Structure 1
Amino acid sequence: MIAFDLSADAARRALSPAGVEYDPEEARERYAMAVWCQLIEPGDSVAGRVIGARGPIAGLEAVVAGADLRELSPKEAGEGRKRWLPRLSAGAVADSLATAAARGVRLVTRADPEWPTQLDDLGAHAPLCLWVRGDASALSRLHASVAIVGARAASHYGDHVARDLAAELAAGGIAVVSGGAYGIDGAAHRAALLAGGLTVALLAGGADRAYPAGHTQLIDDIARRGLVVSEVACGSAPTKWRFLQRNRLIAALSAATVVVEAGWRSGSLNTAGHAATLSRPLGAVPGQITSATSAGTHRLIREYGAQCITSADDVRELLGMDDRTDAATAPRGTYTGDPTRVKDAMSTRVWRDAGEIARRAGMASDVVEGILGLLRLDGAVESGAEGWRLAKIGG
């Protein structure tokens, strides 16, 4: 039997850096959750069954004491203890809680009113708790939300589409959820912040530090104006497994998932798979048929029934929102986006090629070509042998 102090006094001492007074039983339960976060990897359904059957305190006591875990097979119980007990350290738990307090990271559990109940759809694979940097009350405002994910090595086209979608949706009150990575994730977060909307970054490592390091300022901005969330304790490093498991949280926390750009084996397809498993609406943005960075989105549309997304209105439809915000009544500061710049560089009378339109708009030509394709799908522009022009209202 391993000695480990789960008393109310031990719990209160460990939780004291947060500066919050908990009653004895609540302190023990929070402390037990923090301990479990040190013991297990994200998505450990075996631990989830123990905690679901006994609660975090009794489950931890049974594991530490070597008691019979009747909810598990002997093999599961034995292998579980071999995974968990080598990580058991009161000092490591105290350090993570102290780091959380120093960095303004709050431990949110199912006992808290802010807990996002949509995560419970993950069943035994649901997170035990969340480490949240920012205004935790915003977790309750994610029922109208969309995950915008995609390639880290995004093209100009993918970057543009992610920014345009995120900005318009965020300005209209729809939260933008993503993973804080380079490429599509970063573009979506920045555009949502620029539009004055809510954005949430789910990290594979601890919420106390940015990953990638090059996004330190972005993650800090998100924490100030939105939420930075992780299911692993502060001080935890991101690993390949944690990235994959993080993707299930992105899909579960959001009301719908849109993949903007993804290669054939992109990790974004993993997020899309979780969304499909959870029966969450799934959308994908089409790209050029010759583009390797859009091979994954085309695959989602062709093989997995993802809805074709060409505008923010398509995303609203994916979310079941039929009412579309009129530009005249849009909130002040609404992001107009690059399509406006492109249309401003065009005429209803004069045909112009994409290079000329790009020069007039002050934009990269490949970005403009992608925008023109989307505008043509919307009927806003028309193309011909001489180039492009604005569509005439009324035909």
Structure 2
Amino acid sequence: MSAAHASPTAAEREQLQLAGAYLSRVAEPASLPLWMFVQRHGYLAAAAAVRAGEAPAEVASCTEARRTAADPEVDLQAAQRNGIRLLTPADEDWPHFAFAALQATAQRRVAQWQAGVRARPERGEPIPPLALWVRGAGDLGAVGFHSVAVVGSRAATAYGEHIASEFSYGLAQRDVVIVSGGAYGIDAAAHRGALAAGGCSVLVSAGGLDRPYPSGHRHLYDRTAEQGLLVSERPPGSAPHRQRFLSRNRLIAAFGAATLVVEAAHRSGALNSAGHARDLGRPVLAVPGPVTSAMSAGCHRLIQRDEEPARLVTSVAEVLAYCGSAELSTELSAEPEAEADRASGASGQASWQRAYDSLDAVDRSVLDGFPGRRGSVTEAELSRLSGQPISQVIAALPVLQSLGLITVAREGYRLASVAS
């Protein structure tokens, strides 16, 4: 098990908070050299080496400007004043499930880096964050199971805002978490639709959570924190620069079991989020619009792609089929054959055996590590029981859950009843 994932003592947890706060300030989000350095040496040693000016050249180049000025104690105090808490992978509510795909893309990117491909991808490095600043009472660890990232143009039309609001309202009524970026236009309509339904919304900000952006959305930030969560990689006081928006989009895509593009022009930031979702292996959905509308041109382009085209969706039921809530979508859709397949597949031991047989050796080992049907386990416990590294466990959990072999529980994960 790597030092970055080791279970900390109470004293170490305080030091991890300081290290996480320091690392989130000292470099820009999604810095691959710093991320690799932390994975190799752990948070405490990496932060100490950076502060002392003893980090390798590629790490020094992205941290030197703030190496001595970054003050984690000041950031943590500012966070406490604003009701913000800091999470690192050692915390129980760190979103391991949502970030499992980012772990996989990060490993592929590390292999490219080691092979000499050093140019930063245009849409940003596809790696997990080192730390997250969070405000709100929701459980971030549960985000990613039944969730949809809703993205689109800031200069949305009335049609786009109506669709974003109506879809988000209908999804939230069915306990689907709505994830978006808090901007004007489609983002705001999606958040407000979810909040109006009394559902949970996750707002991923490009700047510090004490500086709502745009400033006119301060009330939206407050309402979202009351019913859901505000999330940012940047510590309090940080401004939302352009590159931070691009880096932020990978988190929006990671938090969504699917990404829904409601309206997007040809050169829209929403297409950046869709690209991240595609890289993560998540479904990309797109709402068609009038052929005369420039604001729908990006959606139509996604649908028309020769490779991995977006799924065209026109209803809440169609969206539900892609976000981990297929059983709910069939209540609204006219797909009796698909529903019969799902019902029969979920009921019999034969179906469970077919799913088990489809697993590779590592995923099967992780599944075999689960205790009896009534027991639940955390990622760390499952790593110990299965004998698999924590990174393999984290990567296996979404596969097992998508096959209906395990379910999420408040205490961790448990075998689904189908496996009994």
TM-score (norm 1): 0.72
1:121 to 101, 107, 122: 101
SS of match in other structure, 2:184 = coil
Give the letter for the 2:99 counterpart.
L
Query: Matches of 1:137 and 1:244 in 2, distance apart?
Result: 25
Give the letter for the 2:223 counterpart.
D
* Shift of residue 109, structure 1, vs aligned partner: 1.2
Q: Number of aligned pairs?
A: 298
Query: Matches of 1:252 and 1:141 in 2, distance apart?
Result: 10
Query: Matches of 1:320 and 1:90 in 2, distance apart?
Result: 44
Give the letter for the 1:116 counterpart.
P
Give the letter for the 1:245 counterpart.
S
Q: 1:242 to 1:234 in 2, by over 3 A?
A: same
Query: Matches of 2:290 and 2:70 in 1, distance apart?
Result: 53
Segment drifting more, 42-51 vs 317-326: 317-326
1:107 to 86, 89, 100: 86
Match of 1:309 in 2: 313
Match of 1:156 in 2: 158
SS of match in other structure, 1:211 = coil
Match of 1:293 in 2: 295
* Shift of residue 320, structure 1, vs aligned partner: 4.8
Match of 1:319 in 2: 323
Match of 2:16 in 1: 29
Match of 2:4 in 1: none
Give the letter for the 1:313 counterpart.
A
Please list, as runs of the form range in 1=range in 2, the aligned pairs for 1:329-340 lying within 5 A after superposition. none
Give the letter for the 1:235 counterpart.
G
Query: Matches of 2:53 and 2:220 in 1, distance apart?
Result: 45
Match of 1:61 in 2: 48
Asked if 1 retains the 8 angstrom alpha-carbon contact of 2:25 and 2:70, the reply is: no
Segment drifting more, 297-306 vs 57-66: 57-66
Query: Matches of 2:70 and 2:51 in 1, distance apart?
Result: 16
Asked if 2 retains the 8 angstrom alpha-carbon contact of 1:151 and 1:261, the reply is: yes
Query: Matches of 1:261 and 1:66 in 2, distance apart?
Result: 46
Structure 2 alignment gaps of length 5 or more: 1-8, 107-126, 333-420
Query: Matches of 2:45 and 2:243 in 1, distance apart?
Result: 28
* Shift of residue 136, structure 1, vs aligned partner: 4.4
SS of match in other structure, 1:208 = coil
Match of 1:254 in 2: 256
Query: Matches of 1:158 and 1:58 in 2, distance apart?
Result: 48
1:80 aligns with 2:67: no
2:73 to 94, 97, 100: 94
Asked if 1 retains the 8 angstrom alpha-carbon contact of 2:94 and 2:140, the reply is: no
Give the letter for the 1:261 counterpart.
E
Asked if 2 retains the 8 angstrom alpha-carbon contact of 1:179 and 1:201, the reply is: yes
SS of match in other structure, 2:328 = coil
Query: Matches of 1:320 and 1:266 in 2, distance apart?
Result: 27
Asked if 2 retains the 8 angstrom alpha-carbon contact of 1:133 and 1:208, the reply is: no
* Shift of residue 138, structure 1, vs aligned partner: 4.4
Query: Matches of 1:91 and 1:141 in 2, distance apart?
Result: 30
Asked if 2 retains the 8 angstrom alpha-carbon contact of 1:114 and 1:136, the reply is: no
Give the letter for the 1:319 counterpart.
C
Q: 1:101 to 1:89 in 2, by over 3 A?
A: farther
Segment drifting more, 124-133 vs 186-195: 124-133
Query: Matches of 1:36 and 1:131 in 2, distance apart?
Result: 12
SS of match in other structure, 1:173 = coil
Give the letter for the 1:216 counterpart.
R
1:273 to 260, 272, 275: 275
SS of match in other structure, 1:228 = strand
Query: Matches of 2:290 and 2:190 in 1, distance apart?
Result: 21
Match of 1:39 in 2: 26
* Shift of residue 122, structure 1, vs aligned partner: 1.8
Query: Matches of 1:47 and 1:120 in 2, distance apart?
Result: 19
Please list, as runs of the form range in 1=range in 2, the aligned pairs for 1:348-363 lying within 5 A after superposition. none
Please, what is the CA RMSD of the aligned residues? 1.7
Query: Matches of 1:136 and 1:166 in 2, distance apart?
Result: 18
Query: Matches of 1:256 and 1:262 in 2, distance apart?
Result: 17
Segment drifting more, 291-300 vs 54-63: 54-63
Query: Matches of 1:235 and 1:168 in 2, distance apart?
Result: 35
Q: 1:232 to 1:120 in 2, by over 3 A?
A: farther
Query: Matches of 1:200 and 1:109 in 2, distance apart?
Result: 18
Query: Matches of 1:66 and 1:266 in 2, distance apart?
Result: 39
Asked if 2 retains the 8 angstrom alpha-carbon contact of 1:119 and 1:126, the reply is: yes
Asked if 1 retains the 8 angstrom alpha-carbon contact of 2:260 and 2:286, the reply is: yes
* Shift of residue 250, structure 1, vs aligned partner: 0.1
* Shift of residue 189, structure 1, vs aligned partner: 0.3
* Shift of residue 54, structure 1, vs aligned partner: 0.3
Segment drifting more, 316-325 vs 186-195: 316-325
Query: Matches of 1:38 and 1:136 in 2, distance apart?
Result: 24
SS of match in other structure, 2:261 = strand
* Shift of residue 256, structure 1, vs aligned partner: 0.5
